[in-house]
Every structure is written in C-alpha cells, then in structure tokens.
Amino acid sequence: MGKQMNNSYYLGIDVGSISTNCVVITPEGEVLCEIYKRGDGHPIESVQQCLAQLTAQLPDRFCIRGVCTTGSGRILAGAVVGADVIKNEISAHARATLHLYPDVQTILEIGGQDSKVTIVRDGAVVDFSMNLVCAAGTGSFLDSQARRLNITIEELSARAMLSENPTNIAGRCTVFAESDMIHKQQVGHEQKDITMGLCHALVRNYLSNVCNGKEIKPPIVFQGGVSANKGIRRAFKEALQCDIIIPPYNMVMGAYGAAIIASKSSIEKTKFRGKEASTKPIITRGFECGDCPNCCEIIEVLDAAEIIGRTGGRCGKWEGKTGPRESLRGTGPKGHVSVPSTGRETGHEMCRQVDDVPDLIQIGVPKK
C-alpha cells in the first residue's frame, strides 16, 4: 500500500473473462492498493472477494467517494457494488496509460480471452481494434499450450527467455499450434525453443489480425495479464524492432483507469453500496425480452428480493435498470422488421436505442 494522503478514495473495478482487478487511488491519482484475482467463472463472488480484501487492507475510516466499473462484466459489477460510472475497457485502459505516459502512441493490451490495440495521437484515442472470435492471440492460447507441455505459465515465460534458436510454431489456430508443437517435440526441438516459438506465434497472430491496417508507432505501452510474460515482451520487441514499455500497474491498468475516471467525474454523492456489499447474498435470474426478433436474454441481479440491476440487452433499455419489467417492455414505436431466418417482415414493438445507457455499444437495433 502506498502513502495515505487522506481518507477519501476512488475505486476502480475491472471484471474481465479471466480476472477481476481492483485499484484504489487518492484524488491525486496515487495508487493505495491493487488486487489481481482470477475469476474462476464466478464474477459476482470474485468482485465480492476483492471488495472484502480491499476492506481489510484500507484504514478503518476510509471513505469511497466514487466508483467506476469497466471490462466485459462492468454492468454486472456495477450493480453489485453500486457504481457511479460505467465505462468500456478501451476508455479505461487509455485513461490509465495517458495518465502515466502522455506521449504514448500505441497501446497493446492482451488479456485471457480478448486482445485489443488502441491508437493514440496527440493525447486522444483515434482508433482501436479488438479480436473477434478466435482466442489464438490471447492469454488462453499460452495457457492451453503450457498445460500441454505440463508446465505452469510462469515456467513457460522463464524457459522462453533461455531460447537462442526459437522454433517456428503455427499460431493461426490453437488446434493447429498444438499439432505443430507435438511434431516439433517428436523431431527433437528443445522445450525452451518451443516455448519461445509459441510466444512468437501469439505475437504474429496479434499483429496480423488485431493490428491489421493499424499504424503501430512508438512509444508503445504493453499491458494486460499477458504483459507479465517475459517471452511475449521479448517477442514484441523483436517483431516491432523498438522498445516496449511495461507500466508499473500493467496487470490492473483497466481498474486503474476506471479509478481515475471516477476521480474526474465530479461525483457529488456516491452510489457505492459500502463494504457490506461483499457479504450480500447476490443472485441472478434470466428471462427473454421478446420485444423484438433479437430475443435478448436479460439477466436480473438481485440482493435478496430487490432487483439492483439488469444486463444482457442489445438496445440498452434494460441495462442497469431496476424498475418493473412491465414498465420497460415495448418502449419503442411500432414497426416492421425483417426476420433473417425467413426473410419475412413481422410487426412488433420495436426496440429503440435509448440515451441513458451505461456505456453500452448498441447493435442490432434501429435508431430513434
């Protein structure tokens, strides 16, 4: 924990596919504590455990003045803790990086199941790209190959750094990579060369797919869980022929950026539910919207019998809302839409894009 400037802090929470990260900062942006925790497929429990751990680390009289959540589970986490601001991970990572490195021009971010590149010019985000379906350019690729080699991901990182003659591994697909890796083992390649070859394969996949068509210019900052892997750092440096900056909070930059966003959001009265949120019996239940052919699966978040949030819709009318279902159904004008499976038009209460959505990318719905 850093120096305690006062007892008023800001909390950032980043809930991803693999990990849940939390950062608490002072109003000046100094990090007081940080937590990186594997989610193990239980995002609600993971958020509550992180909150309990923060409570144990911070002073008894600490006061959270604002909370921002980010990541793929940002709306769910926002309901659990009572977020004041909900932001997408592109915004959060960029805010943290620009805070530490104002001259940055390229941000590389690789997590457990997704990867992104953000292009920055003159202190502003001008472009970004994400992986779509395949996870071959993400941390899960290395995890699966490490299991195949019967070593930990930490051992893979250390052994890759010993390689002087990396072997060429096909990295376009995880299945093909495993077959190629088995072949290289059978013909006698050393494990250290195979592990470094895997690192090069991931970087080639990332640069050719996620970064396709992007102008990658230094200074380049590399962050996300995979940035802890020394073999991947080396592979990026060799591929791009320039220095790669690893920030001091590289594993939790999304949460750090979220905390900074909260501190700059002029929050007069926080919605934070307090440290008691870590012990609440939070459950979820689902239902199908049915207002339009999208048939969105909506998840309701409940504290006992009280609905504290919803998520899962495309148009945004359910996101973060806690009112009765009946009050939110059919909020758009009547109209017709073509059903792709039949090509026919059907009348329905169309969903429409709404204004008060917590940073949701709205797809598959008409504008107002």
Radius of gyration over alpha carbons of the chain, in Å?
Answer: 22
3-state secondary structure 219-242: CEEEECHHHHCHHHHHHHHHHHCC
Mean pLDDT for 339-355 is 51
Of 36-40, 93-97, 122-126, 199-203, least confident by mean pLDDT is: 36-40
Q: What is the pTM of this model?
A: 0.84
The residues with which 287 forms a beta bridge, in sequence order, are 298
The superfamily CATH assigns to domain 8-95+253-277 is ATPase, nucleotide binding domain (3.30.420.40)
Domain-wise residue ranges, the chain: 8-95+253-277, 102-245, 281-349
pLDDT band at 5 (very low <50, low <70, confident <90, very high): very low
Domains 8-95+253-277 and 102-245 share a fold: yes
Question: Which CATH number applies to 102-245?
Answer: 3.30.420.40
- Report the pLDDT value the prediction gives residue 101, as an integer from 0 to 100: 97
Helix, strand or coil, per DSSP, at residue 261: helix
Share of the chain above pLDDT 90, in %: 52
Give the sheet arrangement for strand 220-223, strand by strand. 124-130, 115-121, 106-110, 220-223, 244-245
The DSSP code for 257 is: H
| Highest mean predicted confidence (pLDDT) among 104-108, 323-327, 351-355, 360-364 | 104-108
